[in-house]
Structure 1
Amino acid sequence: MSIKKRGQNEGSIYFHNKSNSWCAQISLEGKRITKYFKTKTEARAWIKITLDQIDSGLSLKGASSNVKQFLSEWIIAVTPNLAPTSARDYASYINRHINPYIGKIKLSELRPDQVQTFYNRLSQKGYTQSTIRIVHAVLHKSLNQAVKWGLIGRNPSSLVEKPKPKKKEMKTWNNLQVMSFLSAIQDPKYQALFYLAVTTGMRQGELLGLMWEDLDWITGHIQVKRQLQRITGLGKVLREPKSASGKRTIVLGQTALDKLKENKDNQFRLKSFVGEKWKEHNLIFTSSVGTGIEPRRMYLMFKKYSKNVNLPSIRLHDLRHTAATLMLQENVHPKIVQERLGHSDITLTLNTYSHVTPVMQNDVAEKLDNLLKPILVSNQA
């Protein structure tokens, strides 16, 4: 075995008889890193690249650890600043999607083309664009942190073609179809629940997370503060909205308040009937024993009522789109629509409901005609 030594901290290369390969070593910060290669050229190149990375300010850990090792440390570091469900989701995407494909690649050697190939392979495996976008978001966020920690010089995921979302077809009901749907509901609880859905545009989880303390009967204001969701492994949980705009106050009309009053009276009778079996959570919409309504249950009831009156099939989430469309068609200012929906930016509202614009354009043209026609007729006379 012959050893070719280099200068101080420049590493060494020698042929390792037992493994029949070339061994490259560098010693820095009191630690020795050893790698084996098929050729001497590869060993020399590795030493040069590693030392260049360290000279450029990257840490020894960044030069030696692989993607999986880095992500393991990153998820531990960021978990205290994440909601429990978010931390759980991050770890799931890392373990199920990222590590199996690129986990063994050295962090400092991860290239944009490898990230792009990774995304393409996920797509070929049949994963949805939505899933791939989340994988990208997690990987991109973690690699940004790697740059801040001095583990890599740049984020390779910033240089790839990000997965583009497939725009789902939006279907809505008109006002007559909405009235037909509501007339098919006899249960006071679901009458109030779905009436709020089509007049406020609240999300399913926001509706199911409403509490009586959120409602001001005098002003008609109801505050959106939380969402009820079913999380795998945790059951039904109440979570705060992810964005500041998600927390909002919505003004209700008298009909909505009347339906909520009927629901409250019915809830009181139900509570008296079941007695000690009632579990008080102060929720506006509850199961028969006071717990939150299962999101799946709301979906099934929505499908049942709409099918009973032969309405066009739409998604439950499309009730939110229906509410927004009806508001815009009634010339409610887009800023008000944005605030009721909880959108962070009015641009999102306008882009999402651009299909309403042509109808509004016709209305504007007709209104301007009616406004100016008397003046023109007077001048011609």
Structure 2
Amino acid sequence: MEMAKKIRGHGEGSIFQRSNGTWRTQLTMNGERISYSAKTKSECIDWLTTMQFRLNRRFDYQGGKTSLKTYIEQWLENHKVSIRSKTYHRYKGLSEKYIIPRLGDTDLNDLHPQNIEWFYADLLADGVGIRSVRLCHSILHCALKKAVTYGWITRNPAHGVTLPKYKPAEMQVWNDGQVSLFLAAAESSHYKALYHIAITTGMRQGEIIGLQWSDLDWNRGAIQIQRQIQRVRGQGWSFVEPKTRKGRRKIILGEGSLHALRFHKVQQRITIEVAGVRWQDHDLIFPNSLGKPLDPSNLRLNFTRLLVEADLPKIRFHDLRHTAASLMLNNGIPLIVVSRILGHAKPSITLDLYGHLYHEMLGEAAKIMDELVTSIKAELPRNEILDDKLHQTAPICTRKCKPD
């Protein structure tokens, strides 16, 4: 039975799942409610985006006289329904800062691959980072691909252009001794349980800050990750769902982690008493001193101070995630298990990130296999070994030999 929905205004749409598992989207056009059903939510989003674009566009495309500025602005508005708020604001900011000022006056039909390549070259010459340039390309490629779908242009001019190569920041990981030094330094920190969870599970910073006590199953020693904190420009900090289905995951905690959380819960009760009426209960495991979501910048300051105290190499908080992954893999935890713990969409992502560790483990693997085979061979009776050797080396006569 479908739930009743409130009547929406002209051009507003809704998407919901029906009891049979299919998805339906509805849109009001000129006072009439039209519907579309599909097997997946993404199909409904595509249909709704297309219909809203056609309904809301405030320009006449006849003769190809639509500027990229007009098109990008409308595409962003209609694309908002299918992307995260943070992604939308990032796309909008890059479009307004780089794309529209330099390419905005160009008609869609006059936009060619060389224009776009020159645009990227100009950005790089002006000192814009490679990552920002590649994000501009993602925006242009996605927007112009939709323009092809609409029939506004016959081909995507952003397709096949040469992009500057992006080299991500090199990850820094700690060894066992450095991890021990850090955890010892963190013993006196209010965030020591947080750091323990970060290193033993490899959770992202936003996931840790978003944890609630209701996510924790004390009996089974498991914690459910189903939200993360994210900063949206103009809206402050807010909780959002993980990007992928694999991001919503359950992690089994060790007894050391559970002990750290029990102690942390006792300490939190004291913090609540001190805060009194100022405490805002959000059920967060790691809130600030008043119960509100912890500001990542404050955590970063505390983390940096501990690095100095422990005389450890300066790394990012996110490198604790890389450290956790390397410790797991170096201690023989299968890659597919590590991938699930980290919440990667597929194991190939884990392999791409940490495949270099396997090269370091090849020598150890060869040593283990050599010892294994040697021990098996040593257990065989001596005569069987000799018989096997004679069987392999003795010549085999396949024809009748003449006597000398």
TM-score (norm: length of structure 2) = 0.77
Residues 275 and 290 in structure 2, CA contact (< 8 A), matched pair in contact too: yes
For 1:72-221, what aligned pairs fall within 5 Å after superposition?
Answer: 72-187=73-188, 189-221=190-222
Distance 1:62 1:242, change over 3 A: farther
Encode CA deviations 1:160-184: one digit per residue, 9 max, x unaligned.
0133221321211011110110011
For 1:1-381, what aligned pairs fall within 5 Å after superposition?
Answer: 60-61=61-62, 63-187=64-188, 189-379=190-380, 381=382
Residues 185 and 309 in structure 2, CA contact (< 8 A), matched pair in contact too: yes
Encode CA deviations 1:237-288: one digit per residue, 9 max, x unaligned.
1121222222111111111011011111111111012110101111110111
Residues 225 and 247 in structure 1, CA contact (< 8 A), matched pair in contact too: yes
Residues 196 and 202 in structure 1, CA contact (< 8 A), matched pair in contact too: yes
Residues 335 and 350 in structure 2, CA contact (< 8 A), matched pair in contact too: yes
Residue 65 of structure 1 aligns with an amino acid whose one-letter code is T
How far apart, CA to CA, are the structure 2 residues paired with 1:301 and 1:62?
60
SS of the residue corresponding to residue 234 of structure 2 reads coil
Residue 354 of structure 1 aligns with an amino acid whose one-letter code is G
Residues 86 and 231 in structure 2, CA contact (< 8 A), matched pair in contact too: no
Residues 62 and 150 in structure 1, CA contact (< 8 A), matched pair in contact too: no
SS of the residue corresponding to residue 223 of structure 1 reads strand
- Corresponding position of 2:56: none
Encode CA deviations 1:16-58: one digit per residue, 9 max, x unaligned.
xxxxxxxxxxxxxxxxxxxxxxxxxxxxxxxxxxxxxxxxxxx
Residue 329 of structure 1 aligns with an amino acid whose one-letter code is N
SS of the residue corresponding to residue 159 of structure 2 reads helix
How far apart, CA to CA, are the structure 1 residues paired with 2:206 and 2:262?
21
Residue 339 of structure 1 aligns with an amino acid whose one-letter code is R
1:320, distance to aligned residue in structure 2 (A):
0.6
How far apart, CA to CA, are the structure 2 residues paired with 1:85 and 1:253?
34
Residue 294 of structure 2 aligns with an amino acid whose one-letter code is I
How far apart, CA to CA, are the structure 2 residues paired with 1:188 and 1:259?
12
Residues 214 and 224 in structure 1, CA contact (< 8 A), matched pair in contact too: yes
How far apart, CA to CA, are the structure 2 residues paired with 1:374 and 1:380?
12
Residues 230 and 295 in structure 1, CA contact (< 8 A), matched pair in contact too: no
Distance 1:306 1:295, change over 3 A: same
How far apart, CA to CA, are the structure 2 residues paired with 1:180 and 1:329?
19
How far apart, CA to CA, are the structure 1 residues paired with 2:207 and 2:381?
57
Residues 85 and 232 in structure 2, CA contact (< 8 A), matched pair in contact too: no
Residue 301 of structure 2 aligns with an amino acid whose one-letter code is L
Encode CA deviations 1:282-330: one digit per residue, 9 max, x unaligned.
1110111111111111111111112111112212111111000000000
How far apart, CA to CA, are the structure 2 residues paired with 1:345 and 1:192?
29
Query: Considering only aligned residues, what root-mean-square deviation do their CA atoms show, in Å?
Result: 1.6
Residue 361 of structure 2 aligns with an amino acid whose one-letter code is M
Distance 1:148 1:369, change over 3 A: same
SS of the residue corresponding to residue 63 of structure 1 reads coil
Query: Displaced runs of 4+ in structure 1, greater than 6 A?
Result: none
Residue 238 of structure 2 aligns with an amino acid whose one-letter code is V
Residues 224 and 248 in structure 2, CA contact (< 8 A), matched pair in contact too: yes
Total equivalences in the alignment: 323
Distance 1:162 1:61, change over 3 A: farther
Distance 1:224 1:85, change over 3 A: same
Residue 178 of structure 1 aligns with an amino acid whose one-letter code is V
1:84, distance to aligned residue in structure 2 (A):
2.6
Residues 228 and 237 in structure 1, CA contact (< 8 A), matched pair in contact too: yes
How far apart, CA to CA, are the structure 2 residues paired with 1:375 and 1:76?
68
SS of the residue corresponding to residue 250 of structure 1 reads strand
1:377, distance to aligned residue in structure 2 (A):
3.1
How far apart, CA to CA, are the structure 1 residues paired with 2:253 and 2:174?
21
Residues 111 and 156 in structure 1, CA contact (< 8 A), matched pair in contact too: yes
How far apart, CA to CA, are the structure 1 residues paired with 2:172 and 2:363?
21
1:231, distance to aligned residue in structure 2 (A):
3.0
Residue 360 of structure 1 aligns with an amino acid whose one-letter code is M
Distance 1:141 1:127, change over 3 A: same
Distance 1:116 1:304, change over 3 A: same
Residue 233 of structure 1 aligns with an amino acid whose one-letter code is G
SS of the residue corresponding to residue 186 of structure 1 reads helix
Distance 1:167 1:185, change over 3 A: same
SS of the residue corresponding to residue 171 of structure 1 reads coil
SS of the residue corresponding to residue 332 of structure 1 reads coil
1:62, distance to aligned residue in structure 2 (A):
6.6
How far apart, CA to CA, are the structure 1 residues paired with 2:271 and 2:62?
62
- Corresponding position of 2:52: none
Any gaps of 5 or more consecutive residues in structure 1?
1-58
Residue 161 of structure 2 aligns with an amino acid whose one-letter code is V
How far apart, CA to CA, are the structure 2 residues paired with 1:74 and 1:117?
23
Residues 188 and 262 in structure 1, CA contact (< 8 A), matched pair in contact too: no
How far apart, CA to CA, are the structure 1 residues paired with 2:291 and 2:188?
16
Residues 188 and 263 in structure 1, CA contact (< 8 A), matched pair in contact too: no
SS of the residue corresponding to residue 289 of structure 2 reads coil
1:375, distance to aligned residue in structure 2 (A):
2.6
1:60, distance to aligned residue in structure 2 (A):
3.8
Encode CA deviations 1:72-106: one digit per residue, 9 max, x unaligned.
22122222333333222222111111101111111
Distance 1:72 1:375, change over 3 A: closer
Distance 1:107 1:368, change over 3 A: same
Residue 199 of structure 2 aligns with an amino acid whose one-letter code is V
Q: How much identity, in percent, do the aligned residues show?
A: 37
- Corresponding position of 2:15: none
